Amino acid sequence: MKNKTIEKMEQHPNHFKKLLRKMWEIRIFEETLEQLYAKNKIHGTFHLCIGQEAAAVGSIACLSQEDWIASTHRNHGHSLAKGTSMRAMFAEILGKSTGINGGKGGSMHISDAKNHHLGSNGVVGGNFPIAAGAALSMKMQNKKQVVFCFAGEGATNEGSFHEAMNLASIWQLPITFFIENNQYGMSSAFKKMTRLDSIAQRGSSYGVESFSIDGNDLMSVEQLSKRLVQRMRHGEGPFLVEAKTYRYRGHSKSDSCLYRSKEEEGRQQAYDPIRRVEANFIESKIMNKMDIFEEKQIIREKIWQLVQEVEGDSLPSDQELLANIYAK
């Protein structure tokens, strides 16, 4: 007997191909950043979401372009899933004038008003009140748009999380606090930073309906997100979601992960979100191994062509560097 995941994919093969392609794009985008960094072409640091792609793709797939997201320093997956231009992101991180923020913000400050991306935030927990404010605005204007606020589990120890949760609860705002529990806040293991078994338990303190799911299961993420979006459009909310996942790389480029073992990493990577979807595709005969290899190769080649284009772009001029810095 086929499992429900396979049946669902067989019913909607093009939809799930689209989601898998987006997950590939995010991973290959970040692997390319690593290669550029090794060649000393990127200054500063960045925070990779390799291993967490299903959480971003599965949730944001349920939003319209008019819905809003707020992201974190680990923002590449959220930004690409919401529709931000990959070219403009490469340009931003390489410091080019064609970057999404003119090459002045870098990886941690990618924002994209056109695609209703409120911005990434280098301050841990800094996006909670911003997202709650956006949700309040939607409610006061009687709009059907909703807000997804992404954060890591470490950010839920910040006061801003609790303030935003309380306000969102008493005002019944159309917002979902989507917490990607990747098990580590910088070098601190989740289990050492809280006595709770799940971040979802924190929601009950504020009367917020909460859920804990396998964040590496694309279909679980999408199904729950779709239900919550529908409920928020009908006046319900807020919600809290804990998506359990695992960060494959270090916190940032200066982190060599000395606080965890290779055995642990190996165990966790057995639940790789992308390989799980690929395995389902092969079992359902939607794609075979060669199809998958060729599709990924095409994406990889396109991304490197994009990088070559971006490397030819100019750096910001002196005048551009001073533009949009101060309010007039």
For 132-153, the pLDDT digits (tens) are 999 999 999 999 999 999 999 9
pLDDT at res. 204: 93
Please state the rounded mean pLDDT for residues 154-159: 96
Name the residue with higher pLDDT: 231 or 191: 231
Global pTM value:
0.96
Kindly report, residue by residue over 265-309, the tens digit of the pLDDT: 999 999 999 999 999 999 999 999 999 999 999 999 999 999 999
- The confidence score (pLDDT) of residue 140 equals 97
Average pLDDT, integer, range 99-125 = 94
pLDDT for 1: 62
CATH of domain 4-311: 3.40.50.970
Q: State the average pLDDT for the chain.
A: 95
208-242, pLDDT tens digit by residue?
Answer: 999 999 999 999 999 999 999 999 999 999 999 99
Amino acid 313: pLDDT? 98
What is the pLDDT averaged over residues 90-116?
A: 95
Domain boundaries, the chain: 4-311
- Spell out the SS3 assignment of the chain: CCCHHHHHHHHCHHHHHHHHHHHHHHHHHHHHHHHHHHCCCCCCCCCCCCCCHHHHHHHHCCCCCCCEEECCCCCHHHHHHHCCCHHHHHHHHCCCCCCCCCCCCCHHHCCEHHHCECCCCCCCCCHHHHHHHHHHHHHHCCCCCCEEEEEEHHHHHCHHHHHHHHHHHHCCCCEEEEEEECCEECCEEHHHHCCCCCHHHHHHHHCCEEEEEECCCHHHHHHHHHHHHHHHHCCCCCEEEEEECCCCCCCCCCCCCCCCCHHHHHHHHCCCHHHHHHHHHHHHCCCCHHHHHHHHHHHHHHHHHHHHHHHCCCCCCHHHHHCCCCCC
Percent of the chain with pLDDT over 90: 92
> Tens of pLDDT along 43-63?
889 999 999 999 999 999 999
